[in-house]
Amino acid sequence: MPDVKVLVVDDSAAMRALFCDILDNAKGVTVCGVAKNADEARDKIAELRPDVLTLDVEMPGMSGMEFLAEIMSTNPMPVIMLSSITQHGTGTAARALELGAVHCFPKPLHSSGAEYEATIVKLGDIVRRAAAGELVPGGAGEAPGGGASGAPYASDGSIVVLACGQAGLESAKQVLAAYPAECPPTILVVDGEADAVASAVAAMRGSLACEIEEAIDGYEVRSGRALIAYDNARHIIVEPGTPPRVRAVERDAVAGFRPSADLLLGSLARAGVPVVAGLLPGTGADGAKGLQMLGASGAKVFIQSPADYAPRERYDAVRSLSVAAADLDAREVAGWLLEKTAKEMA
């Protein structure tokens, strides 16, 4: 039986090389070509006639999700989505399966030798099954679920507030990708270069199950929506009500930060609004005092443990204040948030 021919589509040269190596080492699989964007992929599909396509979610120009929808409408074929934010059980995975992908597979980040070998075997098996027609569009037989446990998720109305620096954007993306369509009302405060954050938000839009928008004065804070605050010309707070709304505040930076996570978290603690909050990696100590105030009020709070290469100023600031915050690995954050904000079922 001839090998299954795979076309690898990813805008990252490093990721193309990684997956070519993984797939070329898989039994019964051959990489017939690579493409760095949708335009190249269209030409390569016509030229090489691959049996299976692996496709990155986030690409410049036409996103992977948009290209997936095009493929399914014009030239249906087995497509496996590859990304750090498409594990089964995430909102992004659910959306990809809905569009017609046969499987969603996580990119192997920081793998050990044994994990790398296991990835070769597992991804090779998925590719062969996809080519044989054992995996159908929509991922039949693969339960995506609404949360980490696969059970349907319903928000209890608590507002999730996250804060990070530029270094924490990847963690934030993983959290948002894990959200179901009716996610908890969420505000993410980002201390970073505005254009870079705006580009990241634009890249995520369309690939997430939930709605994602910039935090604008007057916007409702509601289930199914994540609001991103990154405009360094103003702070944001939440005005309690039914529904709560974002309010922009014109005032000086707080300890050098604008928008300030400390200001937002402190205002929520004083207002008594139900909140679940945490800090993702970032430079400086913004958010540590606000998290302390929320924790003292009885709110559920966490701090993400920084990876070896990530800044740890926020983590250390929280620990120096002896905040009773859960200490979570990046992979645990989304599940913890969904668990803490889930409505109790009768």
pLDDT in tens, 55-95: 998 787 888 888 999 999 999 999 999 876 555 456 777 78
pLDDT number for residue 145: 37
- Name which of 105, 101, 106 is nearest 135 in CA terms: 101
Instruction: Delimit the domains of the chain by residue range.
Output: 4-131, 159-340
| pLDDT mean over 272-295 | 95
pLDDT number for residue 335: 86
Q: Which fold has domain 159-340?
A: Rossmann fold (3.40.50)
Q: What percent of the chain has pLDDT over 90?
A: 65
| pLDDT mean over 305-330 | 91
Q: 4-131 and 159-340: same fold? A: yes
| pLDDT mean over 187-192 | 96
CB atoms within 10 A of CB 236: 25
Confidence bin at 29 (pLDDT 50/70/90): very high
pLDDT number for residue 150: 45
- Dmax over CA atoms of the chain, in Å, equals 69
| The length of the chain, given as a count of residues | 346
As a whole number of angstroms, the distance between CA 165 and CA 304 comes to 12
As a whole number of angstroms, the distance between CA 193 and CA 121 comes to 40
As a whole number of angstroms, the distance between CA 15 and CA 240 comes to 45
**Which residue has 């992977």 as its token pair?**
64
Q: Cβ neighbours of residue 298 under 8 Å, at least 6 residues apart?
A: none
pTM of the model: 0.69
CB 172 within 8 A of CB 334: no
Architecture of the domain spanning 4-131: 3-Layer(aba) Sandwich (3.40)
| Angle CA 306–311–317, to nearest 5 | 80
pLDDT number for residue 115: 81
Average pLDDT, the chain: 89
Lowest-confidence region among 6-10, 42-46, 103-107, 334-338: 103-107
